[in-house]
Amino acid sequence: MDYQFKEIEKKWQGFWAENQTFKAAQTTDKPKFYVLDMFPYPSGAGLHVGHPLGYIASDIFSRYKRLKGFNVLHPMGYDSFGLPAEQYAIQTGQHPALTTEQNINTYRRQLDQIGFSFDWSKEIRTSEPSYYKWTQWIFMQLFNSWYNVETDRAENISTLIAKFETSGSAGIKAAADEDVLTFDASEWAAMTEEAKQTELLKYRLTYLRESTVNWCAALGTVLANDEVIGGYSERGGHPVEQKKMMQWSMRISAYAERLLQGLNTVDFPEPVKEMQRNWIGKSVGASVKFPIENHTGHIEVFTTRVDTIYGVSFLVLAPEHELVAELTTPEQKDAVENYIAQTRKKSELDRMADTKTVSGAFTGRYVLNPVSGERVQLWIADYVLAGYGTGAVMGVPSGDQRDWLFATHFGLPILQILDKQADLDKQADPTKEGQYINSGIINGMSYKEAIDTLNKWLEDNKAGKAKINYRMRDAIFGRQRYWGEPIPVYFKAGIPYLIKEEELPLLLPEVDKYLPTETGEPPLGRATNWSYEQQYEYELSTMPGWAGSSWYWYRYMDSKNEAAFASKEAIDYWQDVDLYIGGAEHATGHLLYSRFWNKFLKDLGYVQQEEPFKKLINQGMIQGRSNFVYRVMDEDGKSTNTLVSHGLKGSYKTTALHVDVNIVENEVLNIEKFKLFRPEFKDAEFILENGKYICGVEVEKMSKSKFNVVNPDVLIENYGADTLRMYEMFLGPLEQSKPWNTNGIEGVFKFLRKFWRLFHNDAWEFKVSDAEPTKAELKALHKIIKKVQDDIERFSFNTSVSSFMIAVNELTDLKSNNKQILQDMVIVLSSYAPHICEELWTLLGNEAGTLSYAAYPTFNPDYLVEDEISYPISVNGKTRMNLSISSTMEAKEIEELVLANEQVQKYLDGKSPKKVIVVKGRIVNIVV
């Protein structure tokens, strides 16, 4: 029978599900291998052909590793909390859980029909109480922990309390808030419970504090920086402003150095590492205190160039800095408040990116340079961020271009501080060369001397100190929306307390609407009778989208465990993820948070590994390939009801219209389907080329609005899942972005049919031979064994597909139906095209389901050794024929053999050659 892909694929997908073929063993003598995909958010749109790219690659690798004798864990689940389901709930009143369930069902159906070897027994959903119970539990561990800088790890808060009880705050080295108190043991003992808890909150790894956030009024929630584009929400395009709110935060900054150093131990793409290094932003410098004139306080500044302190001509605060209102003089109040109002309309990313616009407002106040005593104007400007460093920057216009532009714009002094600085009337000169001038105690010194001298002076005079700073700020851990994990906290006298562990999970309550309350509280404020012990208010924010994805790989190890997030035995066996495949867009979000939570869980002894993911691959994006029809415009520029084919449009004035790519084949439009797609053109005139309407083409992002989304369901219906799998790999290297083009898929389908044909005679009867394989057959087989093995190990899947086609062509030419050859071919191809290979495996007489755990064929290099070489034979420089000659023969023997050949003698026509040139292994040239 011919290749019946629909029946074959349905059959084997049912078999795998029924027999749990890919369920990973928890105890085995095999080495483990953990392959993980970044799990999807189940949107209502389902999958398009771009989504499975990474999943197909990970599946090929997983299947290959099983063949190589590994116990493979390859799980799948759903990151099922999220804003889209909530927005839909707001619009329709339908509970987010219902739409999420519907979306998951669509995703599962689509994933199953592509034939992935997922271990579905480990499936997780972050919105399931059985899962988010443990997300809440990890939050509780963070709340009950502090970071001991001396031991360089997180510890239970009880160890900090013990230090306070015995020796107060003396000698405590902790990652903590700036405003921690100084006290002795007796003073600690005398504090009220409320005062103690307030102080401990400054040390906890998750804590409450007033933070500047991206507030989106239309969505009623705080957004992460990566959810804001150009001052508008990524979802919905709503205005976003900077606003101060009391927020939960995670003290990820405590792990900054470990996150930085850990990048040296993992196999991540270099661009991802670089993004993380830049995000962490380690800087070595000094902290300097600038006294405020006529005030008891000071402003602290972190600088990497303390050597330039004599060149400071102004100080800049972030507009949202806590001291701005207090320090602004009455005369400057209106100007400062207007400037702050304008700043709120910009996101922090926009403020950092805009290096050309110069703006600011003078506060009317002065500070004093602690080293020179000079008066320095105090300004606010939006290029300074409250959350970076101290929210204050010293302006040194001679050495920093942004400061130079600011000083030039506002007419502030530009002070030369090094004798090698040049052209300061045109631009800043950041040189460290030369000797210092106009610089008091460091005049005449070099850069290194100046740094050491100033750091010592600052320390001696209690005006500052040498310091390492990190750009990375603590992560805001709260969203003012409904569809997320409830935070397991209640408030007593305004102080947060954890609920008891045995009370987990804290379930999402029912609400009448998924909107903020009329008084502006988050949606959870709508819940009735929702309080702790009928008297204390719960936290009304929910956790952010990244909470559930920051530890999920551990839950896969032991997804049904009710007593722990995963058992010690499971964690000890699986340890970490060997291969992680996902998008590069998560470099400074999910990947950083996951690494942070992993390090924290290791500190507390729950996991073994410092890093969660050994190797990361970022798959490229599959872009859309849009098609266009061309509407003819009349002389007045008005639309007509005429459409002209692409090749003829140059003779007309036209406008391009997107057309559904699913009704275009090889750029030829199906006109009847187009009329159904766009009924307004049902009576249109079509100007054709050679009887066809040819569409235009452009590569764009795949989206519904451009009608260029290709649904894998359609392709699987027409060509089968094995064809889709191989074609997606065939498009190009995994890591590169590439345009989708359905036009080439027919070739892959024909290849699979040709492979099927090798096992059948002309009457489509299954027929293979038990004869000994020939040298040529073995050579073709072992070439593909080695090629596929090498390609998969280096994740070069696209080149394997080409090699499969060559191998099958070679075996077809050899008329090979040798069982030994074809059985090994089935094993080698099975990672790419599992359905057809499962069917052929059983037809070859093997037990159903054993293919996935068969042994990958061993490559034998002897079969690739050439024992004969095809020599081109030339007479007077013109190639006349080819002769196969043993590769062991020497030049003299080759010459004798060639001259004795009957055909060669015909070309010599009885003449004796003047010379015979033999280039061993390449050519024989006879000169007559």
Q: What is the pLDDT of residue 5?
A: 97
801 pLDDT more than 70:
yes
728 pLDDT more than 90:
yes
Amino acid at 41: Y
Q: Can you read off the two tokens belonging to residue 468?
A: 């390492």
**Contacting residues for 510 by C-beta, under 8 A, at least 6 apart:** 527
499 closest CA partner among 137, 132, 127: 137
Residue with tokens 């094993």: 827
Split at pLDDT 50, 70, 90, the class of 537 is very high
Question: Quick one: average pLDDT of 417-424?
Answer: 96
What are phi and psi for residue 260, nearest 5 degrees? -70, -50
Split at pLDDT 50, 70, 90, the class of 89 is confident
Distances (CA, A) of 581 to 35, 264, 604: 8, 19, 28
Question: Quick one: average pLDDT of 426-437?
Answer: 96
628 pLDDT more than 70:
yes
pLDDT tens digits along 551-583: 999 999 999 999 999 999 999 999 999 999 998
pLDDT tens digits along 862-888: 898 877 788 999 999 899 988 888 888
226 pLDDT more than 70:
no
CA atoms within 13 A on the CB side of 627: 26
pLDDT tens digits along 884-919: 888 888 999 999 999 999 889 988 888 889 999 999
Range in 111-115, 211-215, 704-708 the model is least confident about: 211-215
Distances (CA, A) of 432 to 115, 417, 426, 499: 61, 10, 18, 56
Q: Average model confidence (pLDDT) for the chain?
A: 93
Question: Quick one: average pLDDT of 367-388?
Answer: 93
380 closest CA partner among 391, 396, 388: 391
Question: Quick one: average pLDDT of 244-258?
Answer: 92
pLDDT tens digits along 318-348: 999 989 999 999 999 999 999 999 988 887 7
More confident residue, 74 or 865: 74
Between vectors from CA 348 to CA 345 and to CA 352, what angle results, nearest 5°?
115
Split at pLDDT 50, 70, 90, the class of 804 is very high
Q: What is the pLDDT of residue 27?
A: 74
761 pLDDT more than 90:
yes
Q: What is the pLDDT of residue 865?
A: 80
More confident residue, 67 or 763: 67
pLDDT tens digits along 277-291: 999 999 999 999 999
Q: What is the pLDDT of residue 390?
A: 86
Beta carbons of 428 and 398 less than 8 angstroms apart:
yes
Beta carbons of 377 and 366 less than 8 angstroms apart:
yes
More confident residue, 230 or 140: 140
Question: Quick one: average pLDDT of 612-637?
Answer: 94
Q: What is the pLDDT of residue 909?
A: 84
Q: What is the pLDDT of residue 705?
A: 86
User: What whole-number percentage of the chain has pLDDT above 90?
Assistant: 78
Split at pLDDT 50, 70, 90, the class of 218 is confident
DSSP, residue by residue, 39-53: PPP--TT---TTTHH
Question: Quick one: average pLDDT of 845-864?
Answer: 95
Supply the pTM of this predicted model: 0.85
15-19: long-range contacts (C-beta < 8 A, 24 or more apart)? 15/838, 15/848, 15/849, 16/115, 16/117, 16/849, 17/112, 17/120, 19/849
| Alpha helix segments (H runs only) across 616-711 | 671-677
Range in 18-22, 38-42, 155-159, 846-850 the model is least confident about: 38-42
More confident residue, 662 or 130: 130
Q: What is the pLDDT of residue 822?
A: 98
